Amino acid sequence: MGYKVHYIKHIAGMLNLEGMDTKDVAEMICCPPDSSMGDFALPCFKLAKTMHKSPAAIAEEIASNFKCDHVVKGVAAVNGYVNFTIDREWLAHQVLNMVVSYGSCFGASDEGYGRTICIDYSSVNIAKPFHIGHLSSTVIGGALYRIYDFLGYKVVGINHLGDYGTQFGKLICAYKHWGVKEEVEKGGIHAVNDLYVRFNSEATEEMEAEAREYFRLIESGDKEANELFDWFKSMTLEYVDRIYARLHVRFDSYNGERFYSDKMQPVIDRLEEKGLLKESDGAKIVDLEEYGMSPCLILRSDGASLYATRDLAAALYRKNTYDFEKCLYVVAYQQNLHFQQIFKVLELMGYDWAKDMVHVAFGMVSMEDGSMSTRQGRVVWLEDVIDKCVEKAYDVINEKNPNLISKKWTAEQVGVGAVIFGALYNARIKDITFSYDKVLSFEGETSVYVQYTCARANSVLEKGDAHELYEKFAKKVKKTGKPVWLNPGDFPWVTADSLEPSEYELIKLLGDFSDVVKEAAEKYEPSCVARYAVELSQKFNKFYIDCKILSAPEKTTRMFRLTLTWSVHRVLKNAMYLLGIEVPDEM
Ligand code: ARG
């Protein structure tokens, strides 16, 4: 629980308002944006009705009856508000104590203990390019995976592979006509994609018919067709796994569409049983007109299943296998209708858990120069974007810090981080235009800025010989796996006699971290964490300019500021970890 909730509850408990319980009072208390008037405030306007007095008079009365304690130091009535000033040094003590003792677990919780979340993300298509359009699904899903894990949930990451469909018949046909084994082996996924693109532009009627036959052969278990299919599949997976490793995402299941091709009967049976299946031009559909949607196609007239049918089977399978509390689908908003239909059909089938299915939609990513089209093979491969970012990062690092020992590795951390952060920083529903200069800027709202801030903090910590001091506690945490509560005197450096405004701003923000993580999970918005990291960096840099750290005149001040620096560094690392971004020590 973040400090704000804690403090609000505390203040609410100290107030005794007629006819209102503590919970109602807590809901009224807010945090004024400008803390010069107070840290928390109770607006009295709503109370005027029931108490038959003016808000100003009520505020006066509440303030004069209020008794301060070790948490709340001051109270004042101002224009119908009761303003509370907290003991900021006490807050600093509490927050820093938590960060130092929890370390890499600070912000984590066990609220998800015994609860399972399935996340369907990335879900690439076999033998098709892994292009820039897959970036968002991959990194948003990857971040949500870490965020839920951090909150104690059991998370199941699912790559719902697009490995079923007539396009594989086309691919085999193209390979049979034009493919050369050695060339495809050498060219890998790019060569496979070229074959597919060539088929789409050059295939004759005859070849189209052949392709349909090849698809039928895959389905009926023909050895050669299946061997070719498996070859294309393993080539694709090898390729995407390399990218996943660089983006730090992982999956617990690669059960794709094909996996469900023999698990559709229960879906059909249930639909029949509920009287939901209707004939339409020989096909079987679920009519959704009543709900303002076009019909959901279940079986084609030739009896073949569809994307939706396989998604229904997958939903049932996931519920039975994982007993999820929620099942998330991190898929572009272009598929809004598809998921609305699926969720509706599940509801009509009588599954009350249909309400636990969530489409985590996101906007389009396009390149600055407009190159994006997937048709005609004009695609931007994600790997090329990552490579280019890493290259550019290398040039910048080489220029800024030519003597850095691990330039290549640092460039990888910076370049990959820039790609991830670029896709995570905005609210996910927004369309984004990817610009190399923007994501790699040292000044903007970027991962580079956050990483650079961390490197700056780290250098202060090294000069102040502070790491060892704090690692002692971090080690204790590692050993026990549990946070270590500090005894008074164990660690005196969490105490300050008085706080500078920029120190206080940092403390408050550190205290918000766990709420931010929770909010990110509740809204399925990793951007909350990304924005937090930028804000914390900005506030740290302000503190760095305003306050002397190593050259502070008093030892206690120096040590307090080192602790603050250590805490910011720690929390920035925790936040970046949740996004899947590494933080170099130096850059
Ligand atoms: N493979 C699909 C595509 O690239 C995304 C699949 C999303 N997941 C799902 N269960 N439908 O469009």
Instruction: Please check whether residue 391 is in contact with residue 408, taking contact to mean a CB–CB distance below 8 angstroms.
Output: no
Separation of CA 330 and ligand 1 centre (Å): 9
Q: Give the Cα separation of 275 and 381 in Å (integer).
A: 45
Q: What is the band of 169 on the pLDDT scale with cuts at 50, 70, 90?
A: very high
In this structure, the residue with its CA closest to atom 5 of ligand 1 is 123
**For residue 425, what pLDDT is reported?**
96
Residue 477 has a pLDDT of 57
Give the residue, by CA position, lying nearest to ligand 1 atom 9: 160
Q: Confirm if 278 and 232 have CB atoms less than 8 A apart.
A: no
| Stretch 298-316: mean pLDDT | 93
Share of the chain above pLDDT 70, in %: 94
Number of the ligand 1 atom closest to the C-alpha atom of 332? 12
* Contact in structure between 380 and 447 (CB atoms under 8 Å): no
Q: Is the pLDDT of residue 373 over 50?
A: no
CA 247, CA 580: separation in Å to the nearest integer? Answer: 7
- Average pLDDT of 94-117? 91
Name the band, by pLDDT with cuts 50, 70 and 90, for residue 219. Answer: confident
Residue whose CA lies nearest to ligand 1 atom number 11:
311
What pLDDT score was predicted for residue 491? 62
How far does residue 329's CA lie from ligand 1's centre (Å)? 8
Distance 294 CA to ligand 1 centre (A): 19
Cα 34 to ligand 1 centroid, rounded to whole Å? 46
Alpha-carbon gap, residue 544 to 521, rounded angstroms = 31
Cβ-Cβ contacts under 8 Å for 164 (sequence gap 6 or more): 256, 257, 258, 261, 310
Ligand 1 centroid distance, CA of 124 (Å):
7
The mean per-residue pLDDT over the stretch 523-541 comes to 98
* Residues contacting residue 225 through CB under 8 Å, at least 6 positions apart: 172, 214, 217, 218
Look at residue 375 in the predicted model and tell me its pLDDT.
Answer: 47
Distance (Å) from CA 473 to ligand 1 centroid = 45
Average pLDDT over every residue of 134-157: 97
Q: What band does 127 get if pLDDT is binned at 50, 70 and 90?
A: confident
SS3 state at 301: coil
CB-based contacts of 48, cutoff 8 Å, min separation 6: 54, 55, 58
For residue 338, report the distance from its CA to the centre of ligand 1, in Å. Answer: 10
Q: What is the pLDDT of residue 435?
A: 93
Cα 476 to averaged position of ligand 1 atoms, centre (Å): 44
CA of 134, closest atom in ligand 1:
4
What's the rounded Cα separation, in Å, for the pair 111 and 148?
10
3-state secondary structure of 116: strand
The pLDDT score that the predictor gives to residue 6 is 87
118, 122, 123: residue to mutate for ligand 1 pocket, most atoms within 8 A of CB: 123
Judge whether residue 411 has pLDDT over 90. yes
Q: Which atom of ligand 1 is nearest to the CA of 125?
A: 1
State residue 381 phi and psi, 5-degree precision. Answer: -75, 135
What does the pLDDT look like over 270-279, one tens digit per residue? 999 999 999 9
> Minimal CA–CA distance to 324: which of 347, 354, 349?
354
Q: Which residue has the higher pLDDT, 303 or 548?
A: 548
Test site for ligand 1: of 160, 254, 310, 337, most ligand atoms within 8 A of the Cβ: 160
- pLDDT given at position 184: 93
What's the mean per-residue pLDDT of the chain?
92
DSSP label at 253? B
CA of 160 relative to ligand 1 center, distance in Å? 6
Q: What is the reported pLDDT for 476?
A: 61
> Both tokens of residue 178?
């034009």
Residue with tokens 């800024």: 400
Of 356-370, 380-394, 406-420, give the lowest mean pLDDT range. 356-370
pLDDT digits (tens, 9 = 90+) for 43-95: 999 998 888 899 999 999 999 999 999 899 999 999 999 999 999 998 998 89
DSSP string, 73-99: EEEEEETTEEEEEE-HHHHHHHHHHHH
- Ligand 1 atom closest to 335 (CA): 12
Beta-carbon contacts of residue 140 (< 8 Å; ≥ 6 apart): 121, 330, 360, 362, 423, 424, 428, 524, 526
User: Nearest C-alpha to atom 1 of ligand 1 is from which residue?
Assistant: 162
338 CA closest ligand 1 atom index: 11
Asked if 135 and 419 count as a contact pair (C-beta separation under 8 A), the reply is yes
Cβ burial, residue 228 (10 Å; 0-12/13-18/19+)? buried
Residues 6+ apart with CB under 8 A from 37: 78, 83
Q: Which residue has the higher pLDDT, 174 or 496?
A: 174
Largest CA distance in the chain: 91
Task: Give me ligand 1 centre to Cα 162, in Å.
Answer: 7
- CA-CA distance, 548 to 530, in Å (whole number)? 28
Instruction: Please give the average per-residue pLDDT across 204-230, as a whole number.
Output: 93
Question: What does the pLDDT look like over 249-283, one tens digit per residue?
Answer: 999 999 999 999 889 999 999 999 999 999 999 99
Ligand 1, atom 6: closest residue by C-alpha: 123
**Among the atoms of ligand 1, which is closest to the Cα of residue 162?**
1
* DSSP assignment letter at 33: S
Specify the pLDDT at position 485.
54
Listed in sequence order, the residues at least 6 apart from 63 whose beta carbon sits closer than 8 Å to its beta carbon are: 75, 76, 77, 82
Mean pLDDT along residues 294-311: 93
CA of 372 to the centre of ligand 1 (A): 19
> Which residue's entry shows tokens 């949607």?
293
Over 60: is that where the pLDDT of 431 sits? yes
User: Rounded to an integer, what distance in angstroms lies between the CA atom of residue 123 and that of residue 330?
Assistant: 9
More confident residue, 193 or 525: 525
Ligand 1 centre from 123 Cα, in Å? Answer: 5
What is the Cα 371 distance to its own chain's centre?
26
Ligand 1 centroid distance, CA of 375 (Å): 18
Pocket residues: Cβ below 6 A from ligand 1:
120, 123, 125, 160, 162, 311, 314, 329, 331
- Residues 536-577: tens digit of each pLDDT: 999 999 999 999 999 998 888 998 999 999 999 999 999 999
User: Please, what is the Cα angle at 333 between 329 and 335, to 5 degrees?
Assistant: 70
**pLDDT score of 394:** 97
Atom of ligand 1 nearest to the CA of 339: 11
List the structure tokens of 549: 């750290």
Using alpha carbons, select from 56, 44, 38, 54 the residue that is nearest to residue 17.
44
Tokens of 188: 């890998």
Whether the CB-CB separation of 313 and 264 falls below 8 Å is answered with yes
Banded model confidence at residue 204, pLDDT cuts 50, 70, 90: very high
Q: Which atom of ligand 1 is nearest to the CA of 128?
A: 4
pTM reported for the whole predicted model: 0.93
> Which is nearest to 69 in space by CA: 9, 14, 4?
14
CA of 172 to the centre of ligand 1 (A): 22
Residue 110 DSSP label: S
Distance in Å, CA 309 to ligand 1 centroid: 13
- Counting from 1 in the atom list of ligand 1, the atom nearest the Cα of 307 is 11
- Counting ligand 1 atoms within 8 A of each CB, the residue from 317, 335, 336, 374 with the most, and so the one to mutate, is 335
pLDDT, residue 23, reads 93
Q: What is the spatial distance between Cα 112 and Cα 280, in angstroms, rounded to a whole number?
A: 45
Residue 37 tokens, joined: 């008037």
Q: Are 98 and 565 in contact (CB under 8 A)?
A: no
Ligand 1: residue of 331, 334, 346, 374 to mutate (most ligand atoms within 8 A of CB) is: 331
